[in-house]
Structure 1
Amino acid sequence: MRLVRIWIAVELLFGLFGASAVLLDPAATATNFAWPIASPAAASVLGACYGSVAVMLAAALFARHWTQVRPVVAAAGVLTSVMLLATFLHWPVFTHGTVAFWLWFISYLLPPPTLLALWVWQERRPTVPVTDSLPTWAANLFMGNAVILGSVWTFLFFVPMVLAPLPPVLVRVYAGWALGLATLLWLTGKGRDWRLAGLWLLTLPAILWIQLSRYPYTMSGGLLVQLLDLLALATICGTLLIRRHGTTRGLAVAGATGVGLFLVALAALPALRPDLDVRARWVGEYAHGPYGGLMVGAYLALGTGALCLGLALRAVSRIGGVLLAVASGGAFLSAVFGQDDTATGERTVPGTVREIALVPTFVLLIAALALLTRAGPRFLAVPFAVVLVSFGAAFAASPAWKGLAGRAFDAAWTLWMFGAAIWLLRADRFAQVPAPTVDWAVGEGERGSERRHG
């Protein structure tokens, strides 16, 4: 493992070089990168790849066993091999003679034979059993995703003109990253140690969203599918992480914090943005213009809080907790896919995706709150009644008042969740709500005792 760790450190340095160019300043690739990329948004996607893989490689330095880093080494081997091939295929495109080019060329020339030698050496040595096993359903999902991802991007590597007007060199470089990810997913699914892969899958969508938010871009159908796929994988990894290491009290604290931050933003943004009429404009429109980052951050906090709270509330109602955890995905989608501007009436792909996705999300949310209110303390019935009334008002209100009705709905269900989190903390303190077991199999059988303490 010492030789593997040393080479991972070298790979980390190469990754940091790439990140320093297309992560920090994607608009200056003509001078700071191996070849000029005309679109800063396209270059920023590469920056997200370099930045997220650097996080994973930094964590891999602390791995103790070959079984933990095995998928990472294989993925790096595939990635660098494809990149080297793309470099030779598009040799005239590169800015020869510059420091950036030589760093690029060396970073993809040396790794393939080095990683292959390390792989052969380590595979001959005894291995340590996996201690943090990926569930079978998640392993199958990872491997199935790897097959689809690998097949699509292998085709695109050989026929890059399908993604015109993107230049072929950029398509083939994207293919290198996608095939590396596919390799990582496949071997993670087979080996079952998901921690390093999970770290990449958690950081890549977050950094990718930050990068794309810096520059105007067109949301194509392919990019939309890829983003949704990454979000689904990241959600699975985040859920597994919380399930494995979370306690009822810890999840309740995280839930109260995330939901509380959203409520603070919901109250503060009308004062910060008086130009938006609270009666007619939706909450999501605060994501555009000044303080837009505050609204996006509030959605991310809300999604995290709702997910944690849903997992904690499985101790009260198994089905209700699961539905609430699934519904938390609506907040993450709201952070990524912006609300259309109702003042101009312009329709965009992200805004349409958001509208379509939020309808089933709200249905799941109300169903979850109904089950949890029935199984939980009586005082939650009051905000739940407000949730139902405001939800109906949001559909029935005239356009001049839809914004206010929507805000009332958002305030009602987030206050319900905040109240449920506080109750969980008090109940956990007095040992009235059992902590979820390792397999989280606690169901609705406890609802009677919880009702007596409500």
Structure 2
Amino acid sequence: MTIPTASVSDASHIAARGAIVAAGLALLALGALHILRPDLDPSRQMISEYAIGRFGWLMTVCFALFAAASASLFLALMGNTSTLVGRIGLIFLLVAATGLAMGAAFRTDPLSTAPEAMTFSGRMHGVSFMIGVPGVLVATLLLSFALRTHETWIGLPLLSLMAITWLSLAAMAIAIAVTMKHLGVDVSSIVGWTNRLFMAGYALWVIVVAWPMAR
């Protein structure tokens, strides 16, 4: 069954444009950090580590932009998501925005920091990860299924981009688990790339969802 085209209010239109701009700038900031910080290995180090040392402020801005994109998309979709699945998805989108905002507010500790030596900021950054990542996963899943039969979003690759976020996180989790268990296989060299693919996939998903409402 196809749901009729959404009637986009002026507020939704503005919020959708805000989501696109914020997500696009977040990707640009993340890309710029790869040039500004060649000392960090993008294959092995998580993006959070860009917040430590030179140009750390730019990673803070990047996380803040991801949070703003999520919150703006939440506002844009509020009046255009009528199903129960969609409304639950919106709640998790707000959860994702909260986790990403916390990631901006609390800088991570270096990866080599012992658990007992972690700072309050480092611990809170870990909490932000545990809030933001599930929020992103559930929000992209539920909203992709809620919107895919809507005329406004038919034909857009919502499920494909959702799958990218899920599969990249799964690959990252498996790589970390295998490496930590010392099974004779070091696959930590893919952890950084999967982390980046997760964030890029999410940013593109936000842009694709917001696009029809922003036109």
Q: If the TM-score is normalised by the length of the shorter chain, which range does it land in?
A: 0.7 to 0.9
- Supply the distance in 1 between the matched residues of 2:113 and 2:189 (Cα, whole angstroms): 14
**One-letter code of the match for 2:90?**
G
Partner of 1:361: 132
Could you say which residue in structure 1 is the equivalent of 2:196? 407
Greater than 6 Å deviation, 4+ residue runs = none
Amino acid at match of 2:121: P
C-alpha distance in structure 2 between counterparts of 1:366 and 1:344, whole Å: 28
Shift of 1:415: 1.2
Match of 1:290 in 2: 54
Contact conserved, 2:92 with 2:139, CA < 8 A, in 1?
A: yes
Match of 1:334 in 2: 103
Partner of 1:7: none
Question: How many angstroms does 1:375 deviate by?
Answer: 2.0
For residues 170 and 190 of structure 2, what CA distance do their matches in structure 1 show? Answer: 13
Deviates more, 1:407-416 or 1:372-381: 372-381
Alignment deviations for residues 407-453 of structure 1 (CA, whole Å, 9 cap, x no partner): 11111111111111213223xxxxxxxxxxxxxxxxxxxxxxxxxxx
For 2:44, give the aligned amino acid. Answer: A
Which AA in structure 2 matches 1:379? P
Q: Which residue of 1 aligns with 2:182?
A: none
**Cα deviation, residue 395, structure 1:** 0.7
1:388 aligns with 2:166: yes
SS in 2 for 1:339: coil
**Is the Cα contact below 8 Å between 1:394 and 1:409 reproduced in 2?**
no
Three-state SS of the structure 2 residue aligned to 1:401 is helix
- Equivalent residue for 1:322? 91
Q: Does 1:302 align with 2:66?
A: yes
The one-letter code sitting in structure 1 at the alignment partner of 2:28 is V
Report the Cα distance in structure 2 between the residues aligned to 1:360 and 1:301, rounded to whole angstroms. Answer: 17
Separation in 1, partners of 2:209, 2:38: 32
Q: How does 1:20-419 map to 2 (within 5 A)?
A: 247-314=11-78, 315-316=80-81, 317-343=86-112, 347-376=118-147, 377=153, 378-397=156-175, 398=179, 399-419=188-208
- Greater relative contact order, per chain length (Cα 8 Å cut-off, separation 6+): 2
Superposition RMSD in Å: 1.9
CA distance in 1, matches of 2:103, 2:93: 16
Q: CA deviation at 1:344?
A: 5.3
1:438-453 aligned at under 5 Å gives the runs none
CA distance in 1, matches of 2:142, 2:113: 39
Mapped partners of 1:372, 1:365: distance in 2: 10
What is aligned with 1:214? Answer: none
Q: CA deviation at 1:370?
A: 1.1
- Deviations 1:261-288 (CA, angstroms, capped at 9, x unpaired): 1111111111110000101111011111
Output the CA distance in 2 between the equivalents of 1:387 and 1:424: 22
8 Å Cα contact 1:338-1:351 kept in structure 2 = yes
- Structure 1, unmatched stretches of 5+, are 1-245, 427-454
Amino-acid identity (%): 30
What code does the residue aligned with 1:330 have? G
Higher normalized helix content (fraction of residues): 1
| Partner Cα distance (1:304, 1:356) in 2 | 19
Q: Aligned pair in 2 of structure 1 residues 357, 335: CA closer, same or farther (>3 Å)? A: closer
In the TM superposition, what is the alpha-carbon distance from 1:247 to its structure 2 partner?
A: 0.5
Query: Normalising by the residue count of structure 1, what TM-score does the alignment of the two structures yield?
Result: 0.38
Distance of 1:371 and 1:344 partners within structure 2: 36
Give the secondary-structure state (helix, strand or coil) at the position aligned to 2:157: helix
Paired AA for residue 372 in structure 1: L
Q: How many residues align?
A: 182
Supply the distance in 2 between the matched residues of 1:424 and 1:394 (Cα, whole angstroms).
33
| Structure number with larger C-alpha Rg | 1
Q: State the Cα distance separating 1:305 from its structure 2 match.
A: 1.6
Amino acid at match of 1:406: N
Unaligned runs of 5+ in 2: 1-9, 148-152, 180-187
Q: Deviations over 1:237-278 (max 9, x none)?
A: xxxxxxxxx711010011111111111111111111000010
- Offset at residue 339 of structure 1 (A): 1.4
C-alpha offsets along residues 119-142 of structure 1, whole Å, 9 cap, x if unaligned? xxxxxxxxxxxxxxxxxxxxxxxx
CA distance in structure 2 between the partners assigned to 1:408 and 1:361 by the alignment: 15
C-alpha distance in 2, partners of 1:255/1:318?
A: 18
Per the TM alignment, residue 364 of structure 1 is displaced from its structure 2 partner at its CA by 2.3
Deviation at 1:299, TM superposition (A): 1.4
